[in-house]
Amino acid sequence: MTKIGIIIGSTRPGRNGEAVAKWVYEHAKKRDDAEFELIDIAHYNLPLLDEPYPAAMAQYTKEHTKKWAAKIAEFDGYIFVTPEYNHSTSGALKNAIDYLASEWNNKACGFVSYGSASGVRAVETLRLIAGELQMADVRAQVMFNLFTDFEDMSVFKPNDRSEDSLNGLLDQLIPWSKALKTLRK
């Protein structure tokens, strides 16, 4: 079965990303064409990149990196749930991505974003990163606006059309994730 990791891309106290990622997970697991798992980067306690060798060498020396690499290697594709901070993704998500290289290669990814401008600029940044890591990013994207999809910018209240957007993303992500398996064998 194709495995998709839903990555919570923020570690900020009081973050909105956890509620958004749980919503993605609850809707995604209704499907029978893939398995889904929530991955919270906050649980991996990744300090600012502290490996002495470039990730492309896969010579990990730290236990937190080995644990993170093993988890990410389990999946065929990913949904990055990202906030937008200062026209980009969170530093925590960028740091977590930068720890690894081959674990991301030849896998598909999609994006669910949120922010005052619906997180679109964060996703623009992540698409560039995905390309460098040989990830195939799908076109469909789910976007949430802090002013219309959250109450008081903190209580997640997505509209009914959001589930259709998520299904559109999954309808692209799952076949791409399956197709890319052949490149990794």
State both tokens at 108: 């598909």
Domain count within the chain: 1
Question: Cβ neighbours of residue 43 under 8 Å, at least 6 residues apart?
Answer: none
**Residue ranges with strand state E in the chain:** 3-8, 35-40, 77-83, 108-115, 136-145, 150-151, 155-156
pTM: 0.97
Q: What is the CATH number of the domain that holds 179?
A: 3.40.50.360
pLDDT score for 160: 87
Asked whether residue 2 carries a pLDDT value surpassing 90, the answer given is: yes
Asked whether residue 38 carries a pLDDT value surpassing 90, the answer given is: yes
User: What average pLDDT does range 149-176 have in this prediction?
Assistant: 96
Q: Can you count the helices (H) and strands (E) in the chain?
A: 5, 7
For residue range 42-83, list pLDDT tens digits in order: 999 999 999 999 999 999 999 999 999 999 999 999 999 999
Tell me which residue range forms the domain holding 176: 3-184
DSSP 8-state assignment for residue 106: T
pLDDT score for 97: 98
For residue range 140-155, list pLDDT tens digits in order: 999 999 999 999 999 9
Nearest of 148, 169, 168, 170 to residue 157 by alpha carbon: 148
Strands 155-156 and 108-115: unpaired
Q: Which residue has tokens 């889904």? A: 36
For residue range 105-137, list pLDDT tens digits in order: 999 999 999 999 999 999 999 999 999 999 999
Q: What is the rounded average pLDDT for all residues in the chain?
A: 97
Strands 77-83 and 108-115: parallel
Q: Which residues pair with 171 in a beta bridge?
A: none
pLDDT-above-70 percentage for the chain = 100
pLDDT score for 185: 79
